Every structure is written in structure tokens, then in C-alpha cells.
Amino acid sequence: MKVLVPVKRVVDYNVKVRVKSDQTGVDIANVKMSMNPFDEIAVEEAVRLKEKGIVTEIVAVSCGVAQCQETLRTAMAIGADRAILVQTDQELQPLAVAKILKALAEKESPELMILGKQAIDDDANQTGQMLAAMLGWPQATFASKVELADGKATVTREVDGGLETLAISLPAIVTTDLRLNEPRYVTLPNIMKAKKKPLETFAPADLGVDATPRLKTLKVTEPPTRSAGVKVGDVAALVDKLKNEAKVV
């Protein structure tokens, strides 16, 4: 069984994100970048399925600038067998990424695609769902447990009321939640081995995909600073502040 795992290069989760002075976006100059944490969980899950003897090949995929090769090398150090970079300097929005992944799915014919449920930079939570719709594949999002057997995937997913278990036929799309697993520490020997693993590079046009952005970002601003809380003496004072200061009642 072949598994395709898309990974995204994002600002490291430990870094405090700062908005550019001209409010055109987030400042990423001289900022530490790393693999999206949810995608790291997806790679780890694919590797664990391979260690169980269920999966035979793991292909890591990334879309973006040339530096995404570093993210792919990290995925291969975790355990991916090879990697594909769809290189472009354009801003890639979820729809464009889904189109690229659809083209790669048709090219590679995987039986399973495991994605992070969302990226920590845009928090869109759209790519997996869009991809499933485009391919016409069944999907299971927010997975906290994945089991494969007899051409089916049994996925336990987290919902508002608790846990829901789905049985979906392969090929399928699965998006990962935080509680699915804890990614392993990447060792130096595996990092060195990853440098020798094959990495192919394409442009979106090579796959017949138009990655032109459909949305335009007008302005990016930091959230307003929260004021300190106050104590009130009684319910009447609370209601008065909610009505006259907060204006929420």
C-alpha cells in the first residue's frame, strides 16, 4: 500500500508571530520555520503503519518555495521513503493546494492520503475536505485513531459530543488530530540518511494546475490588546458593566 503525506512549511510554533509594518502579511524574515505540527503527526502515523507491515511506501509532498525541501528532508528523516516538491513562489491557497494534490494523487495512485487537519499559519482546515471532494474519495477528518484492514480504514474521530467511529473504503483521505500520536524524535543518523533519499521537483504547470490565488488579502493586523479584568461587588454592578461598558447585554 502506498501512502501520500502532504507536509507544509510554517513558522515554528514556538516563535511569536509579528505582523509586517505595512500590514501586508506576517514577517517571516530570519524566523525559524518548521513542519506544521499536524503534518508531523500525519507522517508519524504513516511510518507506524509501515512498521506494522501494512504500508509499503510513504511519499511526502510539499508545495511552495525551494526551502520546502528542508521540510521534506525532515519527513524523510522521520521515515518517508521519497519526496515530491511542487515548487512555486506564488501564494498557495487551500484550493490551489488541493488541486495540486489531486494531480499528484492521479499520478502516484496512492491508496491512502494522510493530511494534518489544518496548518497553524492560516488555520483554514480546508485542504483535506476539498481534496476528498475533487477526487470523489471518502474522508475521515480529525482522526484520533486509524486502523487499516481488508481494504477499509476504521477511523475514530473527535466530535463535539465525544468520539465517532467511521469505516471508509480505500482509497481515502484522513486528516489527523493532536491525539492520534506523538511524533518521534528525529535522530542524526536518520537525518543523514534522508539526504540520500530521492526528491523530485515539479512546477504547478507541469501538473496542469493553475495555482493563481482566488482571494486577495487586504490587510493583516494583530489582535487588540486585552484589558485587565475587574472585580465587581454584586450582580447589579456586573449587569451594569456588561450593559454600559462591554455592551453585550
What digits encode the pLDDT tens for the residues 125-136? 999 999 999 999
User: Could you tell me how far CA 16 lies from the centroid of its own chain?
Assistant: 19
Number of domains in the chain: 1
Q: Does residue 91 lie in a domain region?
A: yes
**What's the rounded Cα separation, in Å, for the pair 39 and 51?**
18
Peptide bond before residue 171 is cis, with ω within 30 degrees of 0 = yes
CATH number at residue 156: 3.40.50.620
- Give the bridge partners for 168, in sequence order: 153
Average pLDDT value over all residues in the chain: 92
The yes-or-no verdict on residue 32 having pLDDT over 80 is yes
Please report the pLDDT score of residue 101 as a whole number.
96
**What's the rounded Cα separation, in Å, for the pair 96 and 160?**
30
Q: Which pLDDT band, with edges at 50, 70 and 90, does 25 fall under? A: confident
Q: Mean per-residue pLDDT for 146-160?
A: 91
Predicted TM-score of the model (pTM): 0.86
Q: Mean per-residue pLDDT for 71-89?
A: 95
Q: Does residue 24 lie in a domain region?
A: yes
Please report the pLDDT score of residue 17 as a whole number.
87
Q: Does residue 43 lie in a domain region?
A: yes
Q: Does residue 249 lie in a domain region?
A: no
What would the pLDDT profile of 54-70 be if each residue is shown by its tens digit? 999 999 999 999 999 99
Spatial neighbors of 97 by CB under 8 A, at least 6 apart, are 6, 63, 127
What would the pLDDT profile of 194-217 be if each residue is shown by its tens digit? 999 999 999 999 999 998 888 888
Instruction: Find the domain containing 27 and state its range.
Output: 2-244
**What's the rounded Cα separation, in Å, for the pair 137 and 114?**
13
Q: Does residue 196 lie in a domain region?
A: yes
